[in-house]
Amino acid sequence: MIEPPGPLAKNIIERDCDVMSSCLARPYPLVIDRAEGVTVTDVEGREYIDFVAGIAVMNVGHSNPAVSEAIIAQLAKISHCGFPDFFAEPPVRLAERLKQMTGYDQVFYCNSGTESVEAAIKLAMWKSHKQGLVGFYGGFHGRTLGSLSLTCSKVKHKAHFPAIRTVHSHYAYCFRCPFNNEYPDCGIQCAAYIEDVIFKRELSPDDTAAIVVEPVQGEGGYIVPPPEFHKEVRRICDDHNLLMVADEVQAGCYRTGTFMAMENFGVRADIVCMAKALGGGLPLGAMLSSSDIMDWPPGTHSNTFGGNLLASAASLASLEYMEKEDLGGHAKELGGHIMKRLREMQAEYPAIGDVRGLGLMIGIELVKPDGSVDPDTRDRIILEGYKEGIILLSCGDSVIRFSPPLVITKEEADAGLDRFEVALKKVIRS
């Protein structure tokens, strides 16, 4: 870790190192004090343009007044009621809103992405009476033991931990095709692998409850599959009577332009996991499905905080804001602009091997001259970006992700990209 920028940051980091579990991994010494829109201010008063949105959470922008007002109004009445054991209106209104937006008529609330995936796994097992799962290499679904079984992005997430029975298939990572094929002539061999290899040699469909897939892989490297991939996964689920689970935790909530990212691919999953931006900055997860699937009896699954009233109020306000401001349309438009600028940089700097994305879920993959991954250069650019006043994070083996608040303006995006280019130049020409 580089030196913190000042004594206030230094003091907090020292105290943090003393008391916080050592499993947390921070890439640079950013100590956040406050934020508004896409501007984050650290404890020393330095301002940063936020390309990360609190890990794809603050889609409505930091300190969004509409969301803050809704939280304060709810706080004045009651913040928590133990909704899974009693009744209250805000979580019901939110579920009705989600039903109207998605067509899924049943909602189960929880507090995080990993819990929404746990709920989906349990529902799929409960409904099918089967316990096997198919996930994808590079997939990230959380770190509790069920979701961790599906997660397959870094082995250090999994070392020493047990797993439920999961077999991983290949995601459509066309930039580094696992079969050395070229799209579109490949016949989407990565999806075919499930039937051709996994179901023949490793896991019978008769033992498989669900295939769990991210519409766009997030932590695995911001990978956008070609249009046929999810359709093929859907067909395999239908042909073998399996449930299809879409993990929309990172890609959902208009980040890719549509409310659910799967809408971009014209595919409807049986079960949908949402969290992150759904809570408008407060912890909220939801697992959505239809009443013919989610017909488990009372007591089968529950928790304490699901449907928390503050989180429900924040979520309702942020959904309303995103719809009213057409943040989906904005994400598409601005995503196009950011990708264009990144492609212009790619033409100048061959270290950028790939620029890809959907809406405001954009990744650039850093490569060595021989085309292999270059995590070292990637990490140095992120660090240099921090020094220049932009907040970036890595993903995949060699990728920098751009997932700003969806409210980011063209001017803010350009200012951030200018700083990014300075950082890029400094690293590449050093």
Ligand X SMILES: Cc1ncc(COP(=O)(O)O)c(C=O)c1O
Query: What residue ranges bind ligand X (CB under 6 A)?
Result: 112-114, 117, 140-142, 214, 218-219, 247, 249-250, 275
Say which residue the tokens 């350009």 belong to. Answer: 414
Q: How far apart are CA 7 and CA 34, in angstroms?
A: 17
Q: How far is the CB of 304 from ligand X (least distance, A)?
A: 16
**Nearer to ligand X (CB atom), residue 113 or residue 257:** 113
**Nearer to ligand X (CB atom), residue 117 or residue 272:** 117
**Nearer to ligand X (CB atom), residue 380 or residue 401:** 401
Q: How far is the CB of 142 from ligand X (least distance, A)?
A: 4
Q: For residue 171, which amino acid is it?
A: Y
Q: How far is the CB of 113 from ligand X (least distance, A)?
A: 2
Query: What three-state secondary structure class fits 389?
Result: coil
**Nearer to ligand X (CB atom), residue 212 or residue 352:** 212
Contact 401, 393 (CB under 8 A): yes
Q: How far is the CB of 206 from ligand X (least distance, A)?
A: 27
Q: How far apart are CA 22 and CA 27, in angstroms?
A: 14
**Nearer to ligand X (CB atom), residue 275 or residue 382:** 275
Q: How far is the CB of 247 from ligand X (least distance, A)?
A: 5
Cis-peptide into 369, omega within 30 deg: no
Q: How far apart are CA 366 and CA 352, in angstroms?
A: 5
**Nearer to ligand X (CB atom), residue 29 or residue 142:** 142
Q: How far is the CB of 63 from ligand X (least distance, A)?
A: 21
Q: How far apart are CA 397 and CA 340, in angstroms?
A: 23
- Which of 86, 96, 67, 119 is closest to 310 using CA atoms? 67
String of DSSP letters for 64-124 = -HHHHHHHHHHHHH-S---TTTS--HHHHHHHHHHHHHH---EEEEESSHHHHHHHHHHHH
Q: How far is the CB of 388 from ligand X (least distance, A)?
A: 25
Report helix angle 309-324 to 65-77, nearest 10.
Answer: 150
Contact 119, 142 (CB under 8 A): no
Tokens of 229: 């991939």
**Nearer to ligand X (CB atom), residue 71 or residue 120:** 120
Q: How far is the CB of 55 from ligand X (least distance, A)?
A: 6
**Closest CB to ligand X belongs to which residue?**
113
A 10 A CB-CB count for 89 gives 9
- Which of 114, 116, 115 is closest to 104 using CA atoms? 116
**Nearer to ligand X (CB atom), residue 275 or residue 327:** 275
**Nearer to ligand X (CB atom), residue 219 or residue 384:** 219
Q: How far is the CB of 214 from ligand X (least distance, A)?
A: 5
Q: How far is the CB of 261 from ligand X (least distance, A)?
A: 10
**Nearer to ligand X (CB atom), residue 136 or residue 140:** 140
**Own/partner pairs, 152-158, CB within 8 angstroms, 24+ separation:** 153/219, 153/220, 153/396
**Nearer to ligand X (CB atom), residue 67 or residue 121:** 121
Q: How far apart are CA 18 and CA 20, in angstroms?
A: 6
String of DSSP letters for 228-277 = HHHHHHHHHHHHTT-EEEEE-TTTTTTTTSSSSGGGGGT---SEEEE-GG
Q: How far apart are CA 175 and CA 333, in angstroms?
A: 24
Q: How far apart are CA 368 and CA 351, in angstroms?
A: 6
Q: How far is the CB of 387 from ligand X (least distance, A)?
A: 26
